[in-house]
DNA sequence: TTACGCTTAAACTTG
DNA sequence: TTAAGCGTAA
């Protein structure tokens, strides 16, 4: 390899701080980089790659860099390209799944897969599991498909096959194992693999095949892993396997940002790393280039409440910035109102909308904000939701395409056998399923048999018609390019017509999506897939299979760019890795955040705290926290106490903002947004400890009384028991109070009639 | 086959 | 509250 920098490595190490430089220039061997939020982790990763090539004379062919998302992989690739002038395409840079997939394509025979195997996404997997349950005659109430799915994926994530799982005598466990086994059989016969299977097969392929293992061990001398705290048992095992005795492993992660344990990630892998790779150098990146020091201090203080950390404290050379604003809203609506006010102020001061992010714990919380933003004509974008390749009409089209390649693809068959409807009803499909099961053959084969004999004439001809249609589409598209194939299929299958007939906005959108699929294919024809082509031992994949794979592995960006100039709305989880000048963390309430279902076990609570830490460290300049005292949850009004995480922040870093109370102020949607109603903001931030301590009442609300009752007052009612006064409405004899009873829930009562007693 | 009404449950999510 | 899934009726 020629000298990339003419002997001058300064472009690689200039501008790095000491810790970053230590990691980038580490001598040959293993390295664990504990990279705090905003500490330049991607930078370190890419510069390390450049260093390896420039100084260690590593060939791009000898490098594998693994990430979790396509976005991260793309980002890494482009940054390396900018940094060094080498054929980046020769490097294997990709997601765990992408790389595993690549291995399996290359060694499909050894992996015991058909050459054009297809990938099941989680929806496909779910459907297939339901079918397997039906086949086994198991009740879905007893064996909820989602749980079965979780079980199977969990097993695979730990590298376990059904045949290797010990029967512990536990009935439901052994039953689950047999479901797993049956599911696997179906997949194998249909020639499909789910996401977890990609990883498991790739691992087994390497583990059980000495020559393949040796080949890749010799090839990949340098293994780099991003977001190492998110790796599961299998991914880590695979890295260890590939590394062997000779590979050098460089991992970057942050134990404090581990928020995916629920999907199999094991933070423990970070701890194990130094044991599994003796002599590994550990480098901590603690200097933060993103946030103000106030924000960092608060985040540090919060995360210090967790136990078993590797230990890290973020700091910055930057200024301390503005205080963190804390707003205690009356209600969810009030919270929204406050946030919108702050957004307007930000924009009045010349800020941009895409510098603003509203972060919440659960998706349902976006609604109130969306409604308000819509009303105020403020452009916004919500992250998450359905992605392009996950749309029903797109998946229908892809299912036809899958059938073209492989008639035995049962999930695809099931999906489109009667889409659009062609008179093959459930009864008929059930017969096909029954025969397929009895003879252990694919649905397509069973349909072929029944089409000849065993069905009423009408159904038989419908089935034969369907099969003829698929065959005809196959025939007609033999020498066509990808986009023409797809165009033909969406026409001939009747999917376009179906969307047309559906009519309305929905049907129109479906039609446009189908047309967009043809466009996507056209674009894909020109675009060589992520560098795979350069690799001489990668066999050329036929374009259709490649496209289907692309659709499965990159279902269309979720984490896309910030589009125009939009306020960004997303969950705390999807905010990981992003940064924004101004961040709102809303719904900071016990039960919501930390979420009810997490706060029961200590580990769950610590993960929630890490999530909070992730959220706070997204903010560059200005961080807003807010919680509401009442919130409509699942349709009923609930009283909410502030999140414990708020209490864990040093009060001197916070600026507590309170709405000014007006007497007889109903909290209703109508009221919201009418006027500036809150008459300015007071700062009551001094003695918040006692305020929040008992989930009691904020100062500033104390004056408001009706009939001897005040907000926050504990009262008792002869029938409903004890509760807390939340709200007032009306005056005189019409005056009503809202009381949240500990047993009976929240009720509106007329003060004059209800026999309420102050306690 | 479709459409409507009922029941149920309600985190986070990448490939 | 709302959305999805399911069973029944047309």
Residue–nucleotide distance: A634 CA to C2 C1' (Å): 8
Q: How far apart are CA A748 and CA A196, in angstroms?
A: 51
**A426 CB less than 7 Å from any atom of strand B:** yes
CB atoms within 10 A of CB A537: 8
Residue whose entry in the numeric block shows the structure tokens 């974008």:
A381
**A629 with A726: CB under 8 angstroms?**
yes
Tokens standing for residue A605: 């609570």
Residue tagged active-site, from A22, A25, A42, A134: A42
Q: How far apart are CA A138 and CA A129, in angstroms?
A: 11
Q: How far apart are CA A249 and CA A241, in angstroms?
A: 11
Tokens standing for residue A414: 């099931």
In A333-382, where do the E strands start and end?
Answer: 356-360, 380-382
Q: How far apart are CA A423 and CA A466, in angstroms?
A: 10
Residue A226 annotated among the catalytic residues of the structure: yes
**A599 CB less than 7 Å from any atom of strand B:** no
A370-407 pLDDT, tens digit per residue, is: 999 988 989 999 998 888 999 999 999 999 999 999 99
**A534 with A89: CB under 8 angstroms?**
yes
Q: What is the pLDDT of residue A11?
A: 82
A426-457 pLDDT, tens digit per residue, is: 889 989 999 999 999 999 999 999 999 888 88
- Three-state secondary-structure class, residue A127: helix
**A676 CB less than 7 Å from any atom of strand C:** no
Q: What is the pLDDT of residue A555?
A: 82
Q: Please compute the mean of the pLDDT values over residues A591-610 and round it to a whole number.
A: 92
**A624 with A657: CB under 8 angstroms?**
no
Residue–nucleotide distance: A426 CA to B5 C1' (Å): 22
**A487 with A479: CB under 8 angstroms?**
no
Strands A63-67 and A681-683: unpaired
Residue tagged active-site, from A20, A21, A41, A46: A41
**A340 CB less than 7 Å from any atom of strand B:** no
**A126 CB less than 7 Å from any atom of strand C:** no
Residue tagged active-site, from A48, A511, A618, A665: A618
Report the share of chain A in percent with pLDDT over 70: 86
pLDDT band at A119 (very low <50, low <70, confident <90, very high): very high
In A332-421, where do the E strands start and end?
Answer: 356-360, 380-382
Tokens standing for residue A99: 């790389």
Per-residue CA distances from A727 to A370, A637, A641 (Å)? 26, 11, 15
**A632 CB less than 7 Å from any atom of strand C:** yes
Mean pLDDT of chain A: 86
Helix A96-106 and helix A233-243: axis angle, to 10°?
A: 60
Angle at A725 between CA A724 and CA A726, to 5 degrees: 110
Q: How far apart are CA A442 and CA A411, in angstroms?
A: 10
pLDDT band at A253 (very low <50, low <70, confident <90, very high): very high
Residue A618 annotated among the catalytic residues of the structure: yes
**A348 with A647: CB under 8 angstroms?**
no
Q: How far apart are CA A750 and CA A752, in angstroms?
A: 5
Instruction: List the single protein residue with the shortest CA to C1' distance from B10.
Output: A634
Question: Residue A606: is its pLDDT beyond 90?
Answer: yes
Angle at A526 between CA A521 and CA A532, to 5 degrees: 100
Q: What is the pLDDT of residue A7?
A: 63
Question: Which nucleotide is nearest to A364 if distance is taken from CA to C1'?
Answer: B10
Residue–nucleotide distance: A580 CA to B14 C1' (Å): 22
Q: Which nucleotides of C are covered by protein (CB under 7 A)?
A: 1-2, 6
Residue A227 annotated among the catalytic residues of the structure: yes
**A404 with A543: CB under 8 angstroms?**
no
Q: What is the pLDDT of residue A736?
A: 64
A647-686 pLDDT, tens digit per residue, is: 999 999 999 987 755 444 444 433 333 222 222 222 222 2
Residue whose entry in the numeric block shows the structure tokens 């996401």:
A195
Residue–nucleotide distance: A333 CA to C1 C1' (Å): 15
Question: Which nucleotide is nearest to A383 if distance is taken from CA to C1'?
Answer: B13
Q: What is the pLDDT of residue A732?
A: 53
A479-500 pLDDT, tens digit per residue, is: 999 999 999 999 999 999 998 8
Residue–nucleotide distance: A553 CA to B4 C1' (Å): 38
Instruction: List the single protein residue with the shortest CA to C1' distance from B2.
Output: A421
Q: How far apart are CA A351 and CA A581, in angstroms?
A: 9
Q: What is the pLDDT of residue A184?
A: 95
DSSP A391: S
**A97 CB less than 7 Å from any atom of strand B:** yes
Residue A42 annotated among the catalytic residues of the structure: yes
Question: Which nucleotide is nearest to A636 if distance is taken from CA to C1'?
Answer: C1
Question: Which nucleotide is nearest to A196 if distance is taken from CA to C1'?
Answer: B15
Residue tagged active-site, from A124, A184, A197, A227: A227
- Tell me the Cα Rg of chain A: 30
Residue–nucleotide distance: A501 CA to B11 C1' (Å): 37
Q: How far apart are CA A418 and CA A574, in angstroms?
A: 36
DSSP run (H or E) holding A60: none
Question: Residue A694: is its pLDDT beyond 90?
Answer: no
Q: In this structure, what are the phi and psi dihedrals at residue A590, rounded to the nearest 5 degrees?
A: -55, 135
Tokens standing for residue A387: 């992605």
Q: In this structure, what are the phi and psi dihedrals at residue A39, rounded to the nearest 5 degrees?
A: -100, 5
Considering only A8-17, A27-36, A435-444, which range has the smallest mean pLDDT? Answer: A8-17
Q: How far apart are CA A195 and CA A120, in angstroms?
A: 7
Tokens standing for residue A146: 């989602």
Q: How far apart are CA A126 and CA A145, in angstroms?
A: 7
């Amino acid at each position: 390899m020629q000298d990339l920098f003419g002997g001058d490595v300064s472009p690689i190490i200039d501008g790095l701080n000491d810790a970053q430089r230590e990691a980038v220039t580490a001598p040959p061997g293993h390295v664990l980089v504990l990279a705090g939020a905003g500490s330049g982790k991607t930078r370190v990763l890419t510069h390390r790659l450049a260093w390896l090539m420039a100084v260690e004379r590593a060939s791009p062919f000898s490098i594998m860099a693994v990430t979790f998302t396509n976005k991260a992989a793309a980002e890494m690739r482009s940054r390396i390209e900018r940094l060094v002038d080498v054929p980046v395409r020769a490097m294997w840079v990709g997601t765990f799944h992408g790389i595993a997939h690549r291995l399996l394509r290359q060694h499909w025979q050894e992996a015991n897969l058909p050459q054009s195997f297809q990938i099941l996404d989680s929806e496909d997997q779910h459907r297939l599991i339901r079918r397997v349950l039906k086949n086994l005659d198991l009740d879905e109430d007893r064996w909820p498909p989602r749980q079965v799915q979780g079980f199977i994926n969990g097993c695979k994530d730990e590298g376990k096959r059904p045949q290797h799982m010990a029967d512990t005598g536990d009935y439901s466990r052994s039953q689950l194992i047999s479901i797993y086994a049956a599911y696997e059989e179906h997949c194998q016969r249909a020639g499909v693999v789910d996401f977890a299977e990609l990883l498991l097969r790739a691992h087994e392929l390497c583990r059980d095949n000495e020559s393949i293992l040796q080949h890749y061990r010799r090839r990949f001398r340098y293994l780099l892993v991003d977001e190492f705290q998110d790796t599961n048992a299998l991914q880590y095992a695979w890295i260890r396997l590939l590394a062997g005795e000779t590979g050098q492993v460089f991992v970057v992660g942050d134990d404090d940002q581990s928020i995916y344990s629920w999907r199999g990630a094991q933070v423990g892998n970070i701890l194990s790393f130094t044991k599994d790779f003796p002599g590994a150098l550990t480098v901590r990146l603690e200097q933060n280039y993103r946030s103000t020091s106030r924000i960092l201090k608060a985040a540090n203080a919060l995360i210090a409440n967790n136990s078993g950390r590797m230990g890290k404290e973020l700091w910055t050379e930057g200024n301390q910035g503005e205080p963190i604003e804390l707003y205690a809203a009356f209600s969810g609506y009030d919270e929204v109102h406050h946030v919108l006010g702050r957004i307007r102020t930000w924009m009045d001061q010349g800020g941009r909308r895409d510098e603003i992010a509203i972060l919440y714990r659960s998706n349902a919380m976006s609604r109130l904000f969306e409604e308000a933003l819509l009303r105020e004509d403020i452009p916004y974008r919500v992250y998450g939701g359905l992605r392009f390749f996950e749309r029903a009409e797109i998946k229908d089209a892809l299912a036809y395409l899958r059938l073209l390649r492989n008639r035995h693809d049962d999930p695809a068959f099931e999906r489109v056998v009667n889409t659009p409807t062609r008179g093959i009803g459930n009864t008929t499909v059930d017969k096909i399923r029954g025969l397929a099961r009895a003879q252990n053959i694919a649905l397509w084969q069973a349909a072929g048999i029944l089409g000849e004999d065993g069905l009423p004439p009408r159904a038989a001809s419908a089935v034969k018609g369907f099969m003829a249609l698929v065959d005809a589409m196959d025939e007609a598209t033999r020498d066509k390019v990808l986009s023409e194939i797809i165009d033909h299929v969406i026409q001939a299958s009747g999917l376009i017509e179906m969307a047309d007939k559906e009519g309305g906005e929905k049907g129109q959108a479906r039609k446009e999506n189908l047309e967009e699929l043809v466009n996507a294919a056209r674009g894909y024809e020109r675009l060589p897939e992520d560098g795979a082509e350069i690799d001489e031992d990668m066999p050329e994949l036929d374009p259709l299979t490649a496209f289907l794979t692309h659709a499965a592995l990159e279902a269309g960006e979720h984490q896309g760019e910030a589009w125009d100039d939009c306020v960004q709305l997303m969950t705390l989880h999807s905010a990981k890795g992003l940064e924004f000048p101004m961040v709102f963390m809303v719904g900071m309430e016990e039960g919501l955040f930390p979420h009810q279902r997490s706060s029961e076990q200590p580990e769950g609570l610590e993960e929630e705290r890490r999530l909070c830490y992730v959220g706070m460290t997204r903010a560059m300049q200005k961080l807003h926290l807010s919680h509401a005292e009442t919130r409509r949850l699942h349709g009923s009004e609930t009283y909410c106490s502030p999140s414990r995480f708020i209490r864990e922040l040093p009060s001197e870093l916070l600026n507590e903002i309170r709405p000014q109370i007006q007497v007889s102020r109903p909290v209703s949607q109508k009221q919201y947004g009418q006027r500036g109603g809150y008459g300015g903001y007071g700062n009551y931030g001094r003695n918040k400890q006692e305020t929040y301590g008992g989930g009691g009442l904020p100062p500033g609300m104390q004056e408001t009384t009706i009939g001897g009752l005040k907000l926050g007052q504990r009262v008792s009612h002869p029938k409903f028991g004890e509760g807390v006064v939340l709200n007032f409405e009306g005056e005189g004899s019409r005056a009503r109070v809202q009381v949240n009873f500990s047993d009976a829930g929240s009720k509106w009562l007329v003060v004059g009639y209800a026999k309420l007693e102050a306690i």
